[in-house]
Amino acid sequence: MTSGQGVGIVVVSHSRPLARAALALASEMLHGRQVRIELAAGLDETTFGTDAVQVKKAIESVDGPDGVVVLMDLGSAVLSAELALDLLDDPAARDRVTLSSAPIVEGLVVAAVAASGGANRAEVAAEARNALLGKAAHLSGPDEGAPAEPSVATGPEVTGRFTVANNHGLHARPAARLVSEVGGLDATVTLTNLTTGAGPVPAASLSRVATLGAQQGHEVEVRAGGPQAQEAVEHLLALAARHFDEPTVAAPAEAAATSPRTTGPLAASPGIAIGPLRRLAAPILDVDDSEVSDPAAEWRRVVEAVAEVRRDIEHLRALTVREIGEAEAAIFDAHLTLLADTALLGDVRQQINAGVGAFSAWTVCLRAIEHEWSELPDTYLRERAADVRAVGDQVRRVLAGAAAQQPVAEGILVARDLTPAQAAGLDTAAVRGIVLAAGSTTSHAAILARTRGLPLVVSAGRDVLAVPEGTLLVVDGGAGEVHVGPDAALVADYRHRATAAAERRARDLASASEPAVTRDGTRISVAANLGSVADARSAFAAGADEAGLVRTEFLFLGRATPPDVVEQEADYLAIAEALRGRRATLRTLDVGGDKPLPYLPVPDEENPFLGVRGIRLALDRPALLREQLDAVCRTARRAPTSVMFPMVSTVDELRRAHALLADAAGPDGVPEDLRVGMMVEVPAAALKIESFLPLLDFVSIGTNDLTQYALAAERGNPGVAALSDALDPAVLQLVDHVCQAARGRIDVAVCGEVASDEAAVPLLVGLGVRELSVGPHAVPGVKARVRELDLEQCEVVAKQALRSESAEDVRELVAAAWGPC
């Protein structure tokens, strides 16, 4: 809405729909009077984010003699507004802009009314700042309305301490989470690593927090001053107690993907690739900016470059969410935090004010941070120096005016290392495999390569960089082997292996939509384990018969408040739609001390795996479970749905869960087609399964947890990794006990990692399991494996496996019966 006179208003928000709704509300109060208001909100209709260039254009569009008031929501919106001021070419225009700390909705309403009445810029800004006074007066009670007593934050500093519990310490992701928590508070916060003496460093700076080298077990001191000092310390201590909202154990799938070797070359992503050596076209970043005549112009170049890279990363993050998954996209969050690092930007500006050009200033400051990270004692944290280099080089490229990443010709890509952005942007139709001279199996590039199905070998050494372009390479990503200029016989051997594997994958995929039936006519359902709507689409494409496990945690993690019933129902129905009529089994929220939520705090436990988690926590906080079951019932009335409860140990727990389900269903009752099951993860539940059966329609054996509990071998702990084998006879005996009890009464499924193990499939089928739930990518291969089997033979070998002494003996039995896997 525009007119030619009066104060202009700009609304900077992460969300475009939110900004539009606020504008609509403000417009209702103007009764036809015109005010110049422009929105700079979101990256597009659905992607959250802010853009300094967009804010600059908005300011210019409403600017006039009376000036502009800018309202912002939080976090990077403030930074984008500040950067936008620096981007304005006219110093006089900058002087006409006021950045307001007012609340965005109430502030916009009163600012618009004041501006429409002819108030000047200072008056409009003041009205916006006072927007909450009316509400505060109306709602004031015993604890409100009167001026607050001065807190300790305004006098002595507030301090606290925490011990880092995260596996890899305060690496990029938890550090970024910490920085974002501090950014919204009016307090000056510093951190000191009391274990090493490093620090103090500003908690608002990702680049400085990472240099603390805070590893697992280190004690960190938090020190804060300012109006919200007490709140800041409490927030950070609570965040640390939640392990910065990051699981404290490695995911088993990721751990399995790494090579047992610790020196290169290392296997990082399985598969065979043959082709000519190709390289990324490295732009020449040679800029002579030794003579600087206009520091302000140089600083604007930095601001514009940072804004451009931020847009690129935010769009790449959104693309990665859609095509790969939220977990992989989270890689880019630390990059975005680094771009908003006020300490880094302040250092760059100091360099520029001292006469250094934009390109050189940025390079010097980034190289200093990269060096600090590379000197950290923890290997994982040292490897994160690549994140600094990745972001820094993107900005350097823009400052140098170099072209963006060029497509790679068909073949094997060889490079020193890859940034996450480079890995996510590769054309998998051209790139057959990747060899990195540096890198690690835990790098973000390696994670993305595995997810995209690209064979990858890392730590191949500097010599590989000297191999001429076009040289024939053979890469075995599963074995960690790179053959340079191989002879014809070796090429033929690997080509045969690759062809056979590709043909098998093609055959498996071509028949994936067909039922998995053994040679003697027994049908086995092959379902998919899901963690998102994107997974559901992948499962349908892969031919999954249903969704055997939907991990509903994806809805609850990474947020400050739980999703309501309407939001849950919408997401569950989106999964159902993606599955196109196939049944979805929704596991109720499975969190606890090992997977904490900010709104569902759990006291510190010596061993969270044996503590209040799964159904135990849900029954302890029944309101949350009841809301989820309400959403499940609503979904079941519109789509084929099952529900199952995790970590059940006693019949009483299952009865209480049933009672909550009946209550949540309301007067219409539990939907007739809603099937109710439980996870068998606790050995005690497996041993007394008979007691549970009258209350169940099915059970799903979670072999990941069942194995760790039965063998006392923690998942993800490399020290006991050799013990943690689901084909141990003890685990198989528990599975057998459940199947024998359930035979002819209810269905038995397995949804752990072992369900996709080629050696395990015939044994599980032989024991009586009739549903195997696996990752979407594994569905075609598991179906093909089932079709090779004869049920009678499976039963005979399974009985022999139950009498074996070890998992190794069991695998030898399988190899003798069906050949090596």
The C-alpha angle 764, 770, 776, rounded to 5 degrees, equals: 85
Region label for 305, one of left (φ > 0), alpha (ψ between -120 and 50) or beta (otherwise): alpha
Q: Which residues are registered as beta bridge partners of 163?
A: 219
Half-sphere exposure of residue 428: CA atoms within 13 angstroms, side-chain side: 12
Asked whether 531 and 544 are in contact (CB, 8 A), the reply is no
**Angle (deg, nearest 10), helices 791-802 and 807-818:** 160
Which one, of 788, 739, 737, lies nearest residue 761 by Cα?
788
Residue closest to 384 by CA, chosen among 348, 415, 417: 417
Q: Which of the 8 DSSP states describes residue 469?
A: T
Q: Closest by alpha carbon to 331, among 351, 313, 350, 345? A: 313
- Amino acid letter, 814: V
Count how many Cα atoms sit within 13 Å of the Cα of residue 785 in the half-sphere of its side chain.
25
Neighbours of 9 (CB within 10 A): 28
* Cis status of the peptide bond prior to 247, with omega within 30 of 0: no
Outline where 330-460 has alpha helix (H).
331-339, 342-353, 358-374, 379-383, 385-400, 420-424, 444-451
Q: Which residues pair with 37 in a beta bridge?
A: 9
The Cα 327–Cα 444 span in angstroms is 11
CA distance 19 to 49: 12
- d(CA 526, CA 132) in angstroms, rounded, equals 57
Q: Which of 444, 633, 739, 794 is catalytic?
A: 444
Residues 87/53, Cβ–Cβ less than 8 Å? yes
SS3 category, 266: strand
Question: Catalytic annotation on 444?
Answer: yes
| Local structure of 697: helix, strand or coil | coil
CA distances to 211, 236, 251, 435, 561 from 241, rounded to whole Å, are 21, 8, 20, 39, 17
Distance CA 75, CA 181 (A): 9
Nearest residue to 444 via CA among 531, 334, 285, 348: 334
Q: What is d(CA 511, CA 77) in angstroms, rounded to the nearest whole number? A: 50
* 473 alpha-carbon distance from chain centroid: 34
Nearest CA among 310, 305, 439 for reference residue 359: 305
3-state class (DSSP) for residue 72: strand
Q: What whole-number distance in Å separates Cα of residue 624 and Cα of residue 631?
A: 11
Instruction: Give the separation between CA 583 and CA 309, rounded to whole angstroms.
Output: 42
| CB proximity list for 76: less than 8 A, separation 6 or greater | 14, 49, 50, 336, 340
Q: Pinpoint the alpha helices (H) of 88-224.
A: 91-95, 104-116, 121-129, 133-139, 172-183, 206-210
Beta bridge partners of 41: 13
Neighbours of 263 (CB within 10 A): 8
Of 365, 633, 739, 751, the catalytic one is: 751
Tokens of 363: 């390079």
Residues 633 and 568 sit within 8 Å (Cβ to Cβ): no
Task: Give me the count of residues in the chain.
Answer: 821
No. of helices (H) and no. of strands (E), the chain:
35, 24
Closest CA to 406 of 280, 308, 316, 285: 280
Q: Can you tell me the distance from the alpha carbon of 716 to that of 165, in angstroms, rounded to the nearest whole number? A: 15
Q: What is the set of active-site residues?
A: 444, 751
